[in-house]
Structure 1
Amino acid sequence: MDLLSFGHPLYERFLAWQITRSTTKTPAHVAIILKETDLLEPKGMEKLLSALLIFKRYNVELVSIYVDILKAEQPLKTELASTLGTSIEEIFTCLSSETGYKIHGLEGEVKSSRQGKDFFVYVSLGFGGRGEITRAVLSILEEVKTGSVSPEEVDEKMLESHLLVKHEPDIMIRSGGQKLSDFLVWQSVYSELYFTDVNWKDVRRIDLLRVIRDFQKRQRRYGK
């Protein structure tokens, strides 16, 4: 019998039942790639808050969000980043005080942050992976120049320690059926990828439950 014939509520409960009964853990770290227009939609921020609450409900510990801001003149990009950063910070007030977050601006600077215990959210407003790696390398070169680090000490672990996000995503989600951005290019080398044709403004709880269930069914190879 097709559960979809009974409508979304029953199918959502079925998905939730599958997730909780599975012997495979849910993803600990989820990354989401969005466009600035996704969040500027009338219910864009509401969708983001709902997604965070669903992930938290199913034991996701860390969510990394990249907002791919349109290629425009710097004043407009700066204004967009500021507006989005303020709106995103507002939705964090709807989460428990145990939830921590860090919002990074266009140059990787920390615009706002809060310590957390049970759930943490990273937000990058237009600062992609290539910029992140470049910044990390320049930081290490400065340490070599000052003598606090010797060239022989420079390795992958040191580079990783200088990245903004130091955790590898278990799964990266891109809505709207588009290609991935350069977000977390170092950290995501072994991440699972999930593409959906559903645009962010149309994403429902059932779609996010499908992501979690799909992850549980995959056999991860970590590049092998």
Structure 2
Amino acid sequence: MGLYDTYLSIRHRFHDGDPPEHVAIVITERDLLVDGAFDTLSEALGWAMEYGAERVTVSVSVLDESVVPTLTRELRRLDAPAPFVVRGPDDAEESEAGAADTAADVPVRITVGLGGKAEFAAAVREIAGDVDDGTLDPASIDADDVADRLVFPEEPDLVIKTGAERLSDFAIWQSVYAELYFTDVNWRDFRKRDYLRAVIDFQDRQRRFGR
């Protein structure tokens, strides 16, 4: 570790602010086509756990849906530091070593081509079906009814997007109160120091949760 990396690590360790417990990383299919991209992802998951995260959500945005099966297959082979699940648009689920029947207690969740708009629309369709069959009163519908029908309902504390200042249709509902961190560093060049910068930036902020 270089001097600058050591400085960042010390600054994080002695910072008064709490690190994010749930970190979301938004990357694209093109990011994963670069040599070493999956190794970078494995390392990034390790950095997140090392610096205080208890849960990590990775969103892979996809423009060409034909690449989803290939990306999903490769991601399920990921050398991750903790049990993980991978889900795509077909809502398929896999966990490392069959760790859990659901994703509720799995610390790392990865979505491939599962856009926030599509996820929200699916939740609305499910609510409409429950209203139609009489199991849900329209007047009683609240935010929890929507959240309960999302693939990964937990809200991230920090969302990191590399390479561009846009979310790529990531977790529209869940990220409404998240702190957003954009870096112009492309995924192929993303290093521990870049992750630490994001964490320290989060610790420097005063969260308002929409207030």
TM-score, normalising length from structure 1? 0.86
CA RMSD of aligned residues (A): 1.8
Matching residue's letter, 1:110: A
Matching residue's letter, 2:119: E
Q: Distance in 1 between matches of 2:200 and 2:143?
A: 32
1:56–1:119 contact (8 Å) kept in structure 2: no
Q: Distance in 1 between matches of 2:35 and 2:143?
A: 42
2:49 pairs with one of 56, 69, 79: 56
Deviations for 1:38-84, whole angstroms, at most 9, x for unmatched residues? 111110000000000000111201111111112x4xxxx23x11111
**What secondary structure sits across from 1:112 in the alignment?**
strand
Tell me the CA shift for residue 111 of structure 1: 3.3
1:14 pairs with one of 7, 10, 15: 7
Unaligned runs of at least 5 residues, structure 1: 1-7
Identity score, percent: 36
1:147 counterpart residue number: 134
1:100–1:117 contact (8 Å) kept in structure 2: no
Unaligned runs of at least 5 residues, structure 2: none
Structure 2 matches for 1:26-65, cutoff 5 A?
26-65=19-58
Query: Number of residues paired by the alignment?
Result: 206
In terms of fraction of residues, the more helix-rich structure is: 1
1:186 counterpart residue number: 173
Q: Distance in 2 between matches of 1:223 and 1:156?
A: 15
Q: Does 1:130 align with 2:117?
A: yes
**What secondary structure sits across from 1:142 in the alignment?**
helix
2:143 counterpart residue number: 156
Q: Distance in 2 between matches of 1:65 and 1:141?
A: 29
Q: Distance in 2 between matches of 1:186 and 1:60?
A: 21
Q: Does 1:169 align with 2:151?
A: no
Q: Distance in 1 between matches of 2:19 and 2:156?
A: 12
> Larger Rg: 1 or 2?
1
2:5–2:193 contact (8 Å) kept in structure 1: yes
TM-score, normalising length from structure 2? 0.91
1:101–1:121 contact (8 Å) kept in structure 2: yes
Q: Distance in 2 between matches of 1:63 and 1:186?
A: 17
